[in-house]
Amino acid sequence: MFNYLKTAVLMAGIVALFMAIGAVVGGRQGMIIAFAIATAMNFFSYWFSDTMVLKMYNAREVDETAAPQFYNMVRDLAGRAGLPMPRVYLIDEEAPNAFATGRNPEHAAVAATTGILRILSANEMRGVMSHELAHVLHRDILISTISATMAGAISMLANFAVMFGGRDSEGRPANPFAGILVMLLAPLAASLIQMAISRSREFEADRGGAELSGDPKALASALDKIHRYAQGIPLLPAEQHPETAQMMIMNPLSGGGLRGLFSTHPATEDRVSRLMEMARTGSYPA
């Protein structure tokens, strides 16, 4: 519940930031134009995201004949979650990772690398796929698309300020100092909020995945194992395609400290700690 509330507050924050920056930089007309352009771009991405990302990773669709154990695991978990059966894909990639995509539960797909299937036990893999199906259940692709739309619109408004100068709500030139400040800080603030939303959804997917699989320890073990294993691989999928990093169960580009503010995923240690606490107490910590 806390993560749902946090997501709602962050979403409200990024909308409020967009409106405030629109008033300073582009006036009412500039704000509408930027929002319309960003919405169109992200609507296309949202509608075709599954096709684009699966082609990007050369994923191949499998069925119960081609990958019986993996396919049947997904089918069982989808049934437990009350979800339609998603399309199932494998990616011939040594790096251990997995993701879910699709605009809604009726058009969902889940994918896993051959590397993750090789290093995880059956119970750990159930935890990972439960996490991915929790993203589908919570419609996190829609949430991430909305936040990306707002962040993109804010960046466009900042670009408008560079090209045309800021305007107030009456169309008059805005304060130059305010325009420069907004131009520099607005995209940064939007990115911080967008990343915070993504991290909140990851925590919620961990919780939902642990409940669905019934084994928080297995998911915690999987996350720890993926994290440790990934340190020894020089070039991971998220490094080749950073635009898809937030979709993965773990983003190898993330870091601690200030770098963690720009990470799409929480620190692995925090995720593991919360899951182990859930295993001990039966409830996921806020």
For the stretch 246-268, pLDDT in tens is 556 766 554 444 455 567 789 99
User: Catalytic one among 61, 94, 124, 132?
Assistant: 132
d(CA 245, CA 162): 29
Q: Do the domain assignments include residue 75?
A: yes
Asked if pLDDT for residue 23 goes beyond 70, the answer is: no
Greatest C-alpha distance within the chain: 66
Asked if 152 and 44 touch (Cβ cutoff 8 Å), the reply is no
Phi, psi of 109 (to 5 degrees): -145, 145
What is the arithmetic mean of pLDDT over 107-132?
A: 96
Res 153: pLDDT: 74
Residue with tokens 């806390």: 2
**Which residues lie closer than 8 Å to 189 by C-beta, 6 or more apart?**
17, 154
CB burial readout 107-131, b (16+ within 10 A) else e: bbbbbbbebbbebbeeebbbbbbbb
Res 109: pLDDT: 95
Pairing label, strands 60-62, 87-91: antiparallel
Res 51: pLDDT: 83
Q: Which of 140-149, 166-175, 223-232 has the highest mean pLDDT?
A: 223-232
d(CA 112, CA 80): 20
Res 282: pLDDT: 92
More confident residue, 192 or 125: 125
Q: Which two tokens stand for residue 102?
A: 């699709």
Q: Do the domain assignments include residue 65?
A: yes
Domain with 213, as residue range(s), is: 2-281
What is the arithmetic mean of pLDDT over 147-157?
A: 75
**86 closest CA partner among 36, 133, 20, 37:** 133
Strands (E) across the chain are located at 60-62, 87-91, 98-101, 109-113
User: DSSP code of 232?
Assistant: T
- Number of compact structural domains in the chain: 1
Q: Do the domain assignments include residue 286?
A: no
> In which band, very low, low, confident or very high, does the pLDDT at 180 lie, cut at 50, 70 and 90?
low
Q: Pseudo-torsion of CA 253, 204, 70, 213, nearest 10°?
A: 140
> In which band, very low, low, confident or very high, does the pLDDT at 177 lie, cut at 50, 70 and 90?
low
Asked if pLDDT for residue 237 goes beyond 60, the answer is: no
* DSSP notation for 251-265: -TT--SGGGGGG-SS
* 277 is annotated as an active-site residue: no
> In which band, very low, low, confident or very high, does the pLDDT at 238 lie, cut at 50, 70 and 90?
very low
Write down the pTM of the prediction.
Answer: 0.77
Q: Do the domain assignments include residue 242?
A: yes
Q: Do the domain assignments include residue 157?
A: yes
HSE-up (13 A, CA, CB side) for residue 188: 7
Q: Do the domain assignments include residue 105?
A: yes
Kindly list the distances between the CA atom of residue 58 and the CA atoms of 89, 92, 157, 237, in Å, as whole numbers in the listed order. 10, 8, 35, 12
* Radius of gyration of the chain from its Cα atoms, rounded to whole angstroms: 20
Q: Mean pLDDT of all residues in the chain?
A: 80
Q: Which of 119-133, 188-202, 217-231 has the highest mean pLDDT?
A: 119-133
> In which band, very low, low, confident or very high, does the pLDDT at 149 lie, cut at 50, 70 and 90?
confident
What is the arithmetic mean of pLDDT over 77-81?
A: 98
> In which band, very low, low, confident or very high, does the pLDDT at 230 lie, cut at 50, 70 and 90?
confident
Q: Do the domain assignments include residue 71?
A: yes
**160 closest CA partner among 23, 25, 11:** 25
